[in-house]
């Protein structure tokens, strides 16, 4: 039982390049989320999904796209990376239980030069 | 809109108690959480409290909720070096899967 895993752990991109971050969970959770963490700003929600085949915008969705083709995977895409997207990206998942404990992945550190 | 605020840094002596404070704005918050982030890792849930509770204790952790003032605190008794981390306060409405709002985190450092 690996919980929530993210690949890659680190990445450096040049401005304008594209990439996809992969999140996988093996807990059969319905909800999955992508957050970005910037110094002094806490975690901000980018996109989220309430089930396979569904996605929705969070607080800061611009410049990102997501897909949830399989229940266990949630992909975050950057079509044309910008320096403002330099951040640490966390994926999380949760069940539909009352307390909705969120399980976080270890994060992906992305630098855009 | 909703907002969660925390001070950025706290330094305590090993063996003392640490108190991390948080204020929130959303009066409809149903659940309030404390998460811990160790260096290079994701967030881990430490504890949570329902909005109809005033206090919750779990071993060295005590959570106090003042709903009138929208103030949440986390007390760590007998603080150890392993408690060094960033602590995030978060609030959630019961009806919304997406609306978990995190504070900016308080970095707790321990002095010998």
Q: Highest-confidence range of B1-5, B15-19, B38-42, by mean pLDDT?
A: B15-19
What is the pLDDT, as a whole number, of residue B80? 96
Return the higher-pLDDT residue of B50 and A11.
Answer: A11
* A vs B: CB pairs below 8 A: 52
- Residues in a beta bridge with B43: B37
CB-closest option in A50, A102, A106 to B100: A102
- For A31, which of B31, B41, B97 is closest by C-beta distance? B97
Q: What are phi and psi of B82, to 5 degrees?
A: -70, -10
Higher model confidence: residue B30 or residue B43? B43
pLDDT of residue B97: 66
**A14 to chain B nearest CA, in Å?**
23
Residue B93 is predicted with a pLDDT of 72
What integer pLDDT is reported at residue A97 of this predicted model? Answer: 54
Residue with tokens 């539909």: A96
What pLDDT does B2 receive?
64
Q: What is the per-residue burial (b if ≥16 Cβ within 10 Å, else e) of B69-106?
A: ebebbbbbeebeeebebbbbbbbbbeeebbbbbbbbbb
Which CA distances in Å does B6 have to A59, B64, B71, B72?
19, 15, 10, 10
If you average pLDDT over each of A63-77, B40-54, B88-102, which comes out highest?
A63-77
**The pLDDT of residue B42:** 86
In our burial notation (b when 16+ CB lie closer than 10 A, e otherwise), range B39-63 reads: eeebbebbbbbebeeeebeeeeebb
Choosing among B3, B20, B35, B42, which should be mutated to test the A contact, i.e. which has the most A CBs within 10 A?
B42
Over residues B79-91, the mean pLDDT reads 95
Q: How far apart are CA A28 and CA A71, in angstroms?
A: 7
**CA A6 – CA A110 distance, rounded (Å):** 12
- For residue A43, which residues of chain B lie inside 8 Å, CB to CB? 43, 88, 102
What is the chain A residue with the closest CA to B40? A106
Nearest to A107 among B42, B92, B97 (CB): B42
Residues (pLDDT < 70) of chain A are 1, 96-100
Q: Is B69 a residue whose pLDDT tops 80?
A: yes
Chain A's closest residue to B86, CA to CA, is A42
The three-state secondary structure class of A84 is helix
Give the pLDDT confidence score for residue B34 in this predicted structure: 95
Q: Does residue B31 have a pLDDT over 80?
A: yes
* Confidence (pLDDT) at B26: 77
């Amino acid at each position: 039982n690996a919980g929530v895993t993210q690949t890659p752990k680190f990445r450096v991109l040049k401005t304008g390049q594209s990439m996809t971050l992969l999140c996988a969970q093996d807990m059969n959770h319905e909800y999955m989320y992508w957050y970005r963490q910037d110094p002094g700003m806490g975690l901000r929600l980018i996109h989220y999904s309430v089930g396979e085949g569904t996605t929705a915008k969070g607080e800061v969705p611009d410049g990102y796209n997501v897909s949830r083709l399989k229940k266990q995977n949630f992909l975050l895409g950057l079509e044309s990376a910008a320096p403002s997207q330099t951040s640490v990206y966390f994926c999380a998942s949760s069940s539909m239980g009352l307390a909705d404990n969120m399980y976080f992945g270890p994060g992906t550190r992305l630098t855009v030069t | 809109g909703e907002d969660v605020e925390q001070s950025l840094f706290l330094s305590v002596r090993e063996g003392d108690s640490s108190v991390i404070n948080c204020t929130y704005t959303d009066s409809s918050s149903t659940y309030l959480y404390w998460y811990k982030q160790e260096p290079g890792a994701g967030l881990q849930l430490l504890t949570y409290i329902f909005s109809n509770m005033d206090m919750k204790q779990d071993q060295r952790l005590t959570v106090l909720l003042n709903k009138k003032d929208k103030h949440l605190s986390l007390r760590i008794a007998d603080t150890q070096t392993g408690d060094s981390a960033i602590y995030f306060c978060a609030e959630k409405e019961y009806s919304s899967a997406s609306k978990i709002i995190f504070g900016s985190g308080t970095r707790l450092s321990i002095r010998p």
